[in-house]
Amino acid sequence: MLVPYRAPAPSARLTNAPTRHRRATKEGSAADGLRSWLAERLPSHLLPARIVEVTALPRTGTGKLDRGALGGLVTAGRTTKQSDSAAATPRTGLERTVADAWAQVLGLPEVGVNDNFFALGGDSLLAIRAVAQCRRAGVQLTVRQLLSEPTVAALAAALDEENHD
């Protein structure tokens, strides 16, 4: 005989609510408020590429977290791009090489010079792969440089300046 499982009562008093930050109401959505709060406390390369608001976490029939249902939220962040990238195409060979390497590593069709590597879905492991890809293309680059200059334009400018000194 099957007995229906009763969903657990919300445990709101046992958890925090980071989306209820005081800035969430000033800036519009709770995700924007959380992003600005995190930006004050974390370096840019540690900011999440995407923050998704959900009303409830998906549960299995037994009340446990349904990790399979969360997969779409995680992978969808890699396909988003910043809006200004189409207008800001690479201008030099160095910018083109770096942008192509980033696009290949991030699985994107193209990357603009003002796109932030981490906002496009990059992380520290992908940064290592991007640096390796740039080195194979003849661009001498370090992970530290990519972390400190996370846009194609800024990174290319820093590399040009370093080579001319």
Same structural domain, 95 and 58: no
**Residue of 1 and 105 predicted with greater confidence:** 105
Q: From CA 130, how far away is CA 35, in angstroms rounded?
A: 25
pLDDT tens digits, one per residue of 65-76? 888 877 665 554
Same structural domain, 139 and 87: yes
Report the CATH number that the domain containing residue 140 is assigned in CATH. Answer: 1.10.1200.10
Same structural domain, 74 and 105: no
Confidence of residue 97 (pLDDT cuts 50, 70, 90): very high
pLDDT tens digits, one per residue of 142-154? 999 998 888 899 9
Asked if residue 96 belongs to a domain, the reply is yes
Asked if residue 7 belongs to a domain, the reply is no
Same structural domain, 19 and 73: yes
Asked if residue 141 belongs to a domain, the reply is yes
Same structural domain, 28 and 43: yes
Confidence of residue 22 (pLDDT cuts 50, 70, 90): low
What is residue 64's DSSP assignment? S
Question: Of the candidates 121, 117, 106, which has an alpha carbon nearest to the alpha carbon of residue 147?
Answer: 117
Q: pTM here?
A: 0.55
The residue range of the domain holding 73 is: 12-79
Same structural domain, 124 and 55: no
Confidence of residue 128 (pLDDT cuts 50, 70, 90): very high
Asked if residue 6 belongs to a domain, the reply is no
Asked if residue 19 belongs to a domain, the reply is yes
Helix residue ranges per DSSP H, the chain? 22-27, 30-41, 67-76, 93-106, 124-136, 143-148, 152-164
